[in-house]
C-alpha cells in the first residue's frame, strides 16, 4: 500500500474499509495504544489482536495514530479529533465514528 503502515484485521479494500464498517466515508484506521498496530476498527482489533484494546491517554494527543485510507496521511489524535476530513487530501471521514472515540482515546 505505497509505503503505508500495514492495516491488520478484516480489511476489505485499499482504503482501510473493513467487514464491519465499509461505507464510502469509512476510510480511516486507528493505531492502537496497546500494540502500536493499525486496525480499521475496534471490532477488527477485538477479533484479531489477541489482547484487550487500550485507549490512548489524553496526554498523548500528539501521537500519529489515525491513518487516512485514501492518501496514507497519518494524523495526530488531536488533528483527527478536530476535523471532519483529511487535511492532506480532503477525503471525508465518517461523522458516526465520533460515537466510538471513547473506545480509542481517553
In a domain, 94, yes or no: yes
Q: How many domains does the chain have?
A: 1
Q: What is the DSSP string of 38-84?
A: EESSHHHHHHHSSS---PBPGGGTTSEEEEETTT-PEEEHHHHHT-S
Write the pLDDT tens digit of every residue in 66-81.
999 999 999 999 999 9
In a domain, 50, yes or no: yes
In a domain, 93, yes or no: yes
Which residue range(s) make up the domain with 70? 28-104
Write the pLDDT tens digit of every residue in 36-71.
999 999 999 999 999 999 999 999 999 999 999 999
In a domain, 65, yes or no: yes
In a domain, 79, yes or no: yes
Residues 35 and 32: their CA atoms lie apart, in Å, by 6
In a domain, 17, yes or no: no
Mean local confidence (pLDDT), 87-101: 94
In a domain, 7, yes or no: no
In a domain, 83, yes or no: yes
Amino acid at each position: 500500500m505505497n509505503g503505508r503502515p500495514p492495516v491488520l484485521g478484516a480489511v476489505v479494500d485499499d482504503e482501510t474499509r473493513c467487514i464491519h464498517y465499509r461505507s464510502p466515508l469509512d476510510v480511516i484506521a486507528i493505531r492502537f495504544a496497546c500494540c502500536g498496530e493499525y486496525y480499521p476498527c475496534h471490532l477488527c482489533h477485538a477479533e484479531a489482536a489477541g489482547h484487550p484494546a487500550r485507549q490512548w491517554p489524553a496526554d498523548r494527543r500528539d501521537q500519529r495514530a489515525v491513518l487516512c485510507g485514501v492518501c496514507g496521511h497519518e494524523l495526530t489524535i488531536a488533528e483527527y479529533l478536530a476535523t471532519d476530513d483529511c487535511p492532506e487530501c480532503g477525503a471525508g471521514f465518517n461523522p458516526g465514528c465520533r460515537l466510538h472515540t471513547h473506545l480509542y482515546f481517553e
